[in-house]
């Protein structure tokens, strides 16, 4: 018998479906070893940081909301927080609660879309949400109802369901009435039931056997599950104010992607998003969300990225639960926003977008004109980790036929709910030539 020739194969997906934005993936395998993994983000650069220069600090929430149609609230919240940091203002009490409530709406919308419509088809062997709807219409009906409740929350507090217009530096243009929020209680209670059922459903999926000892990074709030503000912490003991972000995290350009890769200074990749929040702050979830997690068999030590779909469903329970708590405690604030006077300086904002930590930094001059801006979205931060997981998953699954291996790679990428449109923002164009 002659020796088998070395086996080289390349798995390429030129257009990733069911992720937010335009990306492609390339994995090279030679002689049973993975030699190269690239997540190529080819959505064109978006230049938002440059657009912001020369604009008023008051415009930042409305301009940055346009970065993403699925997580506009995250952009608004990180930007207003940074502006308030510069101007020496803290937004607290009911205004902070309203911000958190609006954010719950975004988590509901985004997680419902991802869990059911984008990720569940992978586990159930369907190529799209439409196929899933044909086979299991009930599941898609649940997703639509959950998303609709998120939309309603966004409309009532944000002024409309996509790209809200009611957020301003210092608070809101208008605070909702008690009655408007009361009308959300029944749909949110229903959403909480649907989310509990979703946890049970997705916990029953089959999960590839894979584990990665990530460095987890998320915001940390002294009392609440991290959403709208806090310090930045990690599983390795990092505990910093958002103002120290640039000392601990760096962004690097790689030739194959229009999105910058982030890593820890003096270290490597890290993970942000649901699995990180859950791993670091499990104890801050509501009792109901913790119970649901426990019944589903996920705990803070969960490190299988495929099981992040269960964690996302648990966060759906939490978002509904937390929204109900905030509504129960609501009292119409004296005024919808606190006074903010511009001043020269640098400010920082960090919040938890549905898919992970979103960091903003701005420098203003004395009249509030933006001199420069830096925005680091969660998908940039996770990119390096996504590639590491692709490598790990492929190495364990080399015997699979190409088509199945390719599907598994896509499923792996969707573990991060990547928002490629958000991640694409750097200013340098390079052409890769093979």
Q: Is 187 in the site for other proteins (CB under 8 A)?
A: no
| Residue of 420, 350, 427 lying closest to 382 (CA atoms) | 420
CB count, 10 Å around CB of 334?
10
Question: Exactly one of 20, 49, 62, 302 binds other proteins (CB under 8 A); which one?
Answer: 20
Q: Is 195 in the site for other proteins (CB under 8 A)?
A: no
Residues paired with residue 220 on neighbouring β-strands, in sequence order? 231
Residue whose entry in the numeric block shows the structure tokens 């938890």: 352
Q: Nearest 10 degrees: CA dihedral of 177, 180, 181, 185?
A: 160
**Measured from the CB atom, is 79 or 421 closer to other proteins?**
421
Least CB distance to other proteins at residue 140 (A): 6
Q: Is 276 in the site for other proteins (CB under 8 A)?
A: no
Residues paired with residue 13 on neighbouring β-strands, in sequence order? 25
Q: Is 59 in the site for other proteins (CB under 8 A)?
A: no
Least CB distance to other proteins at residue 421 (A): 5
Least CB distance to other proteins at residue 53 (A): 17
C-alpha 432: how far from its chain's center? 29
Q: Which of residues 137-156 bind other proteins (CB under 8 A)?
A: 137, 140-141, 144, 147-148, 151
- Strand 217-220 and strand 171-172: the pairing is unpaired
Q: Which stretch binds other proteins (CB under 8 A): 15-23, 262-270, 333-341, 372-380?
A: 15-23
Q: Is 204 in the site for other proteins (CB under 8 A)?
A: no
Give the span between the Cα atoms of 107 and 203, in whole angstroms.
19
Q: Which stretch binds other proteins (CB under 8 A): 132-140, 212-220, 311-319, 344-352?
A: 132-140
Least CB distance to other proteins at residue 68 (A): 7
Q: Is 70 in the site for other proteins (CB under 8 A)?
A: yes
Q: Is 420 in the site for other proteins (CB under 8 A)?
A: yes
Give the span between the Cα atoms of 212 and 393, in whole angstroms.
10
Least CB distance to other proteins at residue 13 (A): 16
Give the span between the Cα atoms of 332 and 415, in whole angstroms.
39
DSSP category for residue 346: E
Residue whose entry in the numeric block shows the structure tokens 């997540």: 39
Distances (CA, A) of 16 to 10, 20, 26, 418: 16, 9, 11, 11
Give the span between the Cα atoms of 299 and 293, in whole angstroms.
7
**Measured from the CB atom, is 119 or 307 closer to other proteins?**
119
Least CB distance to other proteins at residue 21 (A): 5
**Measured from the CB atom, is 18 or 290 closer to other proteins?**
18
Q: Residue 25, SS3?
A: strand
Least CB distance to other proteins at residue 147 (A): 5
**Measured from the CB atom, is 338 or 419 closer to other proteins?**
419
Q: Which of residues 85-124 bind other proteins (CB under 8 A)?
A: 117
Give the span between the Cα atoms of 140 and 137, in whole angstroms.
5
The helix, strand and coil proportions of the chain, stated in percent and rounded to the nearest 5, come to: 45, 20, 35
Sheet of 23-30, strands arranged across: 8-13, 23-30, 33-41
Question: Exactly one of 68, 82, 217, 364 binds other proteins (CB under 8 A); which one?
Answer: 68
Q: Site size for other proteins, by CB under 8 A?
A: 24
Contact (Cβ atoms closer than 8 angstroms) between residue 72 and residue 398: no
Give the span between the Cα atoms of 304 and 285, in whole angstroms.
20
Q: Which of residues 28-57 bind other proteins (CB under 8 A)?
A: 43
Q: Which stretch binds other proteins (CB under 8 A): 77-85, 135-143, 338-346, 409-417?
A: 135-143
CA angle 299, 229, 311 (to 5 degrees): 20
Least CB distance to other proteins at residue 411 (A): 18
Least CB distance to other proteins at residue 268 (A): 29
**Measured from the CB atom, is 18 or 384 closer to other proteins?**
18
Least CB distance to other proteins at residue 425 (A): 14
Q: Is 324 in the site for other proteins (CB under 8 A)?
A: no
Least CB distance to other proteins at residue 367 (A): 27
- Strand 249-252 and strand 239-240: the pairing is unpaired
Site of interaction with other proteins (CB under 8 A): 20-22, 43, 68-70, 117, 128-130, 133-134, 137, 140-141, 144, 147-148, 151, 161-162, 420-421
């Amino acid at each position: 018998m002659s020796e088998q020739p070395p086996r080289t194969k390349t798995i390429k997906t030129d257009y990733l479906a069911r992720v937010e934005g335009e990306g492609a993936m390339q994995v090279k395998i030679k002689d049973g070893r993975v030699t190269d993994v690239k997540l190529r983000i080819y959505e064109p650069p978006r230049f938002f940081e440059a657009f912001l220069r020369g604009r008023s600090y008051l415009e930042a929430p409305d301009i940055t909301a346009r970065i993403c149609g699925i997580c506009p609230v995250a952009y608004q919240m990180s930007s207003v927080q940074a502006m308030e940091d510069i101007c020496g203002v803290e937004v607290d009490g009911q205004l902070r609660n309203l911000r958190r409530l609006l954010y719950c709406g975004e988590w509901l919308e985004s997680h419902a879309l991802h869990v059911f419509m984008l990720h569940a088809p992978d586990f159930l062997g369907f190529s799209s949400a439409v196929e899933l709807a044909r086979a299991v219409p009930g599941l898609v009906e649940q997703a639509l109802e959950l998303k609709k409740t998120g939309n309603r929350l966004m409309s009532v507090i944000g002024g409309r369901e996509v790209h809200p217009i009611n957020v301003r530096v210092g608070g809101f243009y208008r605070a909702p009435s008690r009655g408007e929020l009361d009308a959300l209680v029944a749909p949110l209670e229903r959403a909480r039931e649907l989310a509990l059922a979703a946890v049970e459903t997705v916990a029953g999926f089959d999960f590839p056997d894979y584990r990665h000892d990530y460095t987890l990074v998320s915001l940390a709030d002294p009392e609440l599950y991290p959403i709208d503000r806090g310090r930045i912490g990690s599983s390795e003991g990092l505990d910093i104010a958002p103002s120290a972000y640039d000392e601990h995290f760096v962004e690097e350009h790689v030739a194959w992607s229009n999105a910058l890769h982030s890593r820890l200074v003096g270290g490597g990749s890290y993970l942000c998003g649901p699995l990180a929040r859950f791993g670091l702050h499990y104890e801050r979830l509501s009792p109901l969300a913790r119970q649901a997690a426990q019944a589903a068999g996920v705990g803070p030590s969960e490190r299988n990225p495929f099981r992040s779909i269960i964690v996302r469903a648990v966060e759906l329970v939490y978002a509904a639960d937390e929204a109900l708590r905030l509504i129960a405690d609501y009292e119409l604030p004296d005024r919808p926003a606190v006074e903010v006077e511009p001043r020269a300086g640098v400010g920082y904002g960090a919040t938890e977008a549905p898919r992970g930590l979103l960091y903003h930094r701005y420098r203003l001059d004395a009249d509030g004109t933006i001199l420069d801006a830096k925005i680091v979205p969660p998908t940039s931060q996770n990119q390096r980790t996504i590639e590491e997981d692709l490598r790990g998953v492929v190495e364990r699954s080399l015997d699979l036929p190409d088509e199945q291996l390719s599907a598994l790679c896509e499923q792996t990428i969707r573990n991060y709910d990547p928002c490629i449109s958000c991640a694409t923002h750097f200013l340098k164009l390079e052409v890769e030539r093979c």
